Structure 1
């Protein structure tokens, strides 16, 4: 095995739930392992592994039973366990902030290991919205300032981190976008019946940061422009009851279907004409990468990293004003050349293929 592909990489995570961070860790880990890397996913906060069917070449180590963050008497044992793993690997990646970030930093102190922080979202916007606990804010900023290497999923996320840390981006900060899952099954698109409503789909949490009021505003604006549309919401969340009640108040209940949380969203994308993305902030949204190879059109708010996916054609998929009227007008305009846009999206998806982007990971980790 060549030295270029013999690196041992440990990725620290909370657990292996169904979140975007966990999905990225599994996809990148498996792709690196296929290229000769030894990859270990280290679970710190729980023993869930909902990706066992996709894990074939990486090792999963559960440290959550050795220690618990709320039990200080277990901290030393947990640190020692994490340090043993760090000592056995050449590179340690903090898969996300908080617990994995803290442990990746603490477990490698004095070991002269290469430590990389993997940043999936725009921290400045995230903190402004969620109001991070001041203790965690200070701790995260302390660690991020001391890590020479950070990997971001978008240029927007990188610039956001610089604003959050009040510093200039380091030359060692790199951008590696998320990629299209090579194992994703792409079902055939289901044609819309002639004369039937435009099929709009939203995939994600029904939560404040996704701005669900824009879903209703968009439907209302489409109605006002005499464009029949039906919205399917694939997901759940704390604002589900609000959404049901407000849709009833606006007389939109018959135009909305709540599909609940689904593990496989491809079937819903295949039956959609437009994917609606209304986030207040995004890093590099995986649902868009899922939809692009299928040629599903996108109507999105200017949510940070999402616009980077479309380069010079961003105005054909992203609105500058976060309003239902702006989104509705974009959707209407898209329908005038929907087939051409769909073809372009399929071609654009090739630039975010796993084969293309994993080579950049290999190059970075082999330096």
Structure 2
């Protein structure tokens, strides 16, 4: 009933629906008129992120000169697929060809935490993976990482991804929607060919060992996002 009412309002009562990416806009066209949909990408506070320092506590114990730090950020729920992240970590830790010292960080909390901690223990990752729980100043943790992994089943245009791009932390992702084209050009991050642990492991290893660096990518600012929404409100109120 809720979905039906929501779709009715979107079709007949709402003047506009905001999609945060072109990919999401195409999906919304299945249920809503094309002329109702406007794309306004998410934005982040670039000025605030410019002053963020890479000072997560784990760097005090294991500086980047000795260890490569790889993390995943998000609520610990099924769609985020932290299980894939752990399987990827297990493959890399147990690989004879990997000469890197790797530490993995799960940043966030949620209903699957105990289950995921048990899975990490079963995979023999107790010394390699740290569950940090909810972190208030998550930007400092993102900047302290060498690579951020995003292996969700689906995303729109996640703020964590945009923050990582603004902070200069490379990303490994799969089908990242609005930023896929940038990733294919080597800007902001790289794409895993398949949505499975071995493919993420391969993409991550290449990123960590390659001489070529990921080019910086600048996401939209929160100010641009706000101005676009204000302009849309003015347009539909005329």
Query: How would you bin the TM-score normalised by the shorter chain?
Result: 0.7 to 0.9
**Deviates most, 353-362 or 198-207:** 353-362
> Where in structure 1 are there 5+ consecutive unaligned residues?
1-134
**Deviates most, 149-158 or 225-234:** 225-234
Q: Which of the residues 232, 235, 238 maps onto 1:364?
A: 232
Who is 2:67 aligned against?
Answer: 197
Shift of 1:301: 2.4
Shift of 1:211: 0.8
Q: Distance in 2 between matches of 1:251 and 1:142?
A: 50
Kindly provide the CA deviation profile for residues 179-231 of structure 1, in whole angstroms up to 9, marking residues without a partner as x: 0124534323468443x232011111111111111111111222214243111
Shift of 1:325: 1.2
Who is 1:174 aligned against?
Answer: 38
Q: Pick 1 or 2: higher relative contact order, CA cutoff 8 A, min separation 6.
A: 2
CA-atom RMSD in angstroms: 2.5
Shift of 1:366: 2.9
The answer to whether the 8 A contact 1:202-1:276 is kept is yes
1:246 and 2:104 are equivalent in the alignment = no
When the two structures are superposed, what TM-score results if normalisation uses the length of structure 1?
Answer: 0.55
SS at the partner of 2:85?
helix
Shift of 1:323: 1.1
Matches within 5 A, 1:243-282: 243-282=116-155
The answer to whether the 8 A contact 1:283-1:306 is kept is no
1:297 and 2:170 are equivalent in the alignment = yes
The answer to whether the 8 A contact 1:297-1:338 is kept is no
Q: Distance in 2 between matches of 1:154 and 1:269?
A: 23
Kindly provide the CA deviation profile for residues 217-260 of structure 1, in whole angstroms up to 9, marking residues without a partner as x: 11122221424311111111111111111111111111111111
Bigger Rg over Cα = 1
> Where in structure 2 are there 5+ consecutive unaligned residues?
none
Q: Which of the residues 187, 199, 210 maps onto 2:52?
A: 187
1:212 and 2:78 are equivalent in the alignment = no
SS at the partner of 1:321?
coil
Kindly provide the CA deviation profile for residues 294-349 of structure 1, in whole angstroms up to 9, marking residues without a partner as x: 110101122544536647447952224111111111112222457731xx32xx22
Instruction: Decide whether aligned partners of structure 1 residues 282 and 193 sit closer, same or farther in structure 2, where only a CA change above 3 A counts.
Output: closer
Shift of 1:172: 3.9
Who is 1:45 aligned against?
Answer: none
Matches within 5 A, 1:1-367: 135-146=1-12, 147-163=14-30, 165=31, 169-182=33-46, 184-185=48-49, 186-189=51-54, 192-194=63-65, 196-223=66-93, 224=95, 225-226=97-98, 227-305=100-178, 307=180, 310=183, 312-313=185-186, 316-337=189-210, 340-341=213-214, 344-345=215-216, 348-349=217-218, 351-367=219-235
The answer to whether the 8 A contact 2:143-2:168 is kept is no
Shift of 1:364: 2.5
Q: Distance in 2 between matches of 1:268 and 1:338?
A: 24
